[in-house]
Amino acid sequence: MPFESRAANAPVSNLIGRDPRVDFFRGLAFIIILIAHVPANWVARWIPARFGFSDATEMFVFMSGFAAGIAFGGSFLKRGFWLGTARTGYRVWQVYLGHLLLFFFVAMSMAAANELFDTRNYINQLNLTYFFNETATAIVGLFTLNYVPNYFDILPMYIVVLVLMPFMFALARVHPWLALAASFALYWANWFIGFDLPAEVRPNSDRSWFFNPFGWQLIFFTGVALSMGWLKPPPVSKWLIGAAIVMIVFGVLVGHWPLWRSYESLTAVREAISPWLNKTNLGILRYIHFLAAAYLVVVALKGHEQWLASAVGRPIMKCGQQSLPVFLFAMALSRYAGIVLDQTGRELVWVLLVNAGAIATLIGLAYLLGWLKSEPWRSKKPRPPVPAEAGAQAPANQPSARAAE
């Protein structure tokens, strides 16, 4: 069956314009990622990840999948499979360049911090000693994604997941559920067989990628499937709401470290389920926990999505609208915030000020990027037409004003 005819079942109207939920929660994920990556930041004790199984990574990957369905899915639907693949490949290239830029900028910043301050060895703190000692080997591994330091492991995972998109859309040409079945099959095959990717080029190390893309693709393509209409959102049901609440409460009891460590029974439960909480391969309980949380949020916002565009929500949405550069800035800013805290100390007032300043800087950068993307240097008003008389009176050997533009 032609892809376009199968696509008639997809909510094409949903592929037009921006969904405020995508921008808001993706922006919120970036802010949480910023806070979580500031070294020795006690504010990070209060992020959602400390009270459940899933965290901002699930939010980021799911919302990226949902947004990819809107952006790239529209290309597959309207312009055909090959142009959709080309657009996806272009995004892969952008993310790849962003990954390299992030690494070199942060590595340079850590080297500069070592020169300026003697509070700590910032290169060692990020475990980049091998890169500086064995640069020739490490740089080849960096460009070939065989050297993926832990702090720089999200974007390589995202690159591989994006590469899988054309294959999933090819399967969706036969039937959307075939793409979903392939995603689940790949997830479970990775879980039981394991498709580890090497993350080290140094000798005597067999460390693999911290974020295994063959596991994390499941939550990404769940977002794609919902935005494309391959999956229908679950209905508002008191039974589903009750089940989701039970999952969230369970996540708090067994996911909040001070709580489950205080009771032997909760400790036993935590130890029993710990294999299903594995972050590298996206443990299934992390996936279910995130879906439960997302379902409750969608139900709570139903009919009130405009709340996200309030005065408080708009700056967060702006961060979500500039997704890749804001993510890169968030990862870099978190290291700078850690350096500032090393110099000022980690008393309450300094921690609050540095976190607030970092978040304000991230939001300010998002607004600046949005302003630059609007190309304010271009005139918004059309040039006045050249009078016919002026064109008629112009010398024959002189070009008219319109011809010179």
Q: How far is CA 332 from CA 119, 225, 289, 310, in A?
A: 19, 32, 29, 28
pLDDT of residue 9: 43
Q: What percent of the chain has pLDDT above 70? A: 89
pLDDT of residue 381: 66
**Where is pLDDT greater, at 390 or 354?**
354
pLDDT of residue 384: 64
Distance of CA 213 to the CA centre of its chain: 13
380 lies in a domain? Answer: no
Q: What confidence tier does 404 reach under pLDDT thresholds 50, 70, 90?
A: very low
Q: Please say if the pLDDT value at position 382 is more than 80.
A: no
**Contact between 51 and 58 (Cβ < 8 Å):** no
Q: What confidence tier does 375 reach under pLDDT thresholds 50, 70, 90?
A: confident
Q: What confidence tier does 387 reach under pLDDT thresholds 50, 70, 90?
A: low
Average pLDDT on 287-295 reads 97
pLDDT of residue 205: 86
pLDDT of residue 15: 40
**Contact between 160 and 91 (Cβ < 8 Å):** no
Q: Please say if the pLDDT value at position 72 is more than 70.
A: yes
Mean pLDDT, the chain, rounded, equals 89
| CA 238/CA 21 separation, integer angstroms | 23
368 lies in a domain? Answer: yes
Q: What is the pLDDT of residues 156-196, one digit of tens each?
A: 999 999 999 999 999 999 999 999 999 999 999 999 999 99
**Contact between 289 and 282 (Cβ < 8 Å):** no
Q: Please say if the pLDDT value at position 76 is more than 70.
A: yes
| CA 319/CA 34 separation, integer angstroms | 12
Q: What confidence tier does 202 reach under pLDDT thresholds 50, 70, 90?
A: confident
Q: What confidence tier does 17 reach under pLDDT thresholds 50, 70, 90?
A: low
Q: What confidence tier does 219 reach under pLDDT thresholds 50, 70, 90?
A: very high
Least confident interval from 55-59, 72-76, 239-243, 379-383: 379-383
Least confident interval from 68-82, 155-169, 208-222, 329-343: 68-82
65 lies in a domain? Answer: yes
Average pLDDT on 133-144 reads 96
176 lies in a domain? Answer: yes
Instruction: Give 235's DSSP letter.
Output: P
pLDDT of residue 261: 93
pLDDT of residue 10: 43
| CA 247/CA 250 separation, integer angstroms | 5
153 lies in a domain? Answer: yes
| CA 137/CA 201 separation, integer angstroms | 7
Residue 55, judged by CB atoms within 10 A of its CB (0-12, 13-18, 19+), counts as: buried
HSE-CB at 315 with a 13 A cutoff on CA atoms is 10
Count of domains for the chain: 1
pLDDT of residue 380: 67
- Our CA angle for 38, 332, 22, nearest 5°, is 90
126 is in which domain, residue-wise? 3-374
Q: What confidence tier does 246 reach under pLDDT thresholds 50, 70, 90?
A: very high
Q: Please say if the pLDDT value at position 367 is more than 90.
A: yes
Q: What is the pLDDT of residues 323-340, one digit of tens each?
A: 999 999 999 999 999 999
403 lies in a domain? Answer: no
Q: Please say if the pLDDT value at position 390 is more than 90.
A: no
182 lies in a domain? Answer: yes
302 lies in a domain? Answer: yes
Average pLDDT on 205-227 reads 96
**Where is pLDDT greater, at 187 or 9?**
187
Q: What confidence tier does 305 reach under pLDDT thresholds 50, 70, 90?
A: confident
